[in-house]
Amino acid sequence: MQITRAGEYGVLGMMYLARRDDGAARKTAMIDEVSRAEKVPKSFLAKIFQNLARAGLVKSVRGAGGGFVLAKTPTEITVLEIVEAIEGKITFQRCKQDKPDCKHIGGCALCGLFEQAQGGLTDVLTRTTLDDLIKRQERIDTTHDHSAGRLSNSQKDAIVR
């Protein structure tokens, strides 16, 4: 019962994109840049962003000067969307999966409970947008900010060049 690394890297990557274009226009960021900034394996991240692009959460721009941009504003993207774009739809119960082969199917109390439990989870992830997430992050960064592991502005500059 854990989120996969792919899912986590994906959210991290999206956060980077969102935080990158502060203020104004949305600019593309290359996989290489995101990968270094978030300390995540580059080719793995590339695969993950393919999923995000297919799901319509980011737009990919090929060729020199290309990269990825958010396809929508951070307020319009929920964390659940991101995770499900990468890991596939969240379903606790096997019976709600592609291949329902359970003998209990039909009248199973567990099924209802799991649905409810899953709801408790997805509610939180649906209510939280990418924007909420970066605001949380900013709050963390500013309060007990410097030297606290998180990338400082100078480091950020070094990465962005």
Partner DNA sequence: TTATTTTAGGACAGAATCAGTCCTATTTAA
Partner DNA sequence: TTAAATAGGACTGATTCTGTCCTAAAATAA
Question: Which of 6, 12, 30, 53 lies at the binding interface for a copy of itself (CB under 8 A)?
Answer: 12
45-104 residues in contact with a copy of itself (CB under 8 A) are 79, 87, 90-94, 97, 103-104
Question: 82: closest CA among 142, 92, 136, 90?
Answer: 90
With CB cut-offs between 5 and 8 Å by kind, which of a copy of itself, DNA, ligand SF4, none does residue 49 bind?
Answer: DNA
Task: Give 13 or 74: the residue with its C-beta nearer to ligand SF4.
Answer: 13
CB burial readout 76-98, b (16+ within 10 A) else e: ebbbbbbbbbbeeeeebbebeee
With CB cut-offs between 5 and 8 Å by kind, which of ligand SF4, a copy of itself, DNA, none does residue 152 bind?
Answer: none
DSSP 60: E
42-71 residues in contact with DNA (CB under 7 A) are 42-44, 46-47, 49-50, 53-54, 60-68
With CB cut-offs between 5 and 8 Å by kind, which of DNA, ligand SF4, a copy of itself, none does residue 15 bind?
Answer: a copy of itself
Tokens coding 44 = 């793995």
Q: Assess contact for 77 and 57: CB atoms under 8 A.
A: yes
Alpha carbon 24 to chain centroid, angstroms: 22
x/- letters, 74..113, toward DNA (CB under 7 A): -------------x--------------------------
Residue 33: CB atoms within 10 A of its CB come to: 18
Asked if 125 touches a copy of itself (CB under 8 A), the answer is: yes
Task: Name residue 22's amino acid.
Answer: D
x/- letters, 21..40, toward DNA (CB under 7 A): ---------xxx--------
Question: 107: closest CA among 91, 95, 119?
Answer: 95
Who's near 56: CB < 8 A, 6+ residues apart?
A: 71
Asked if 131 touches a copy of itself (CB under 8 A), the answer is: no
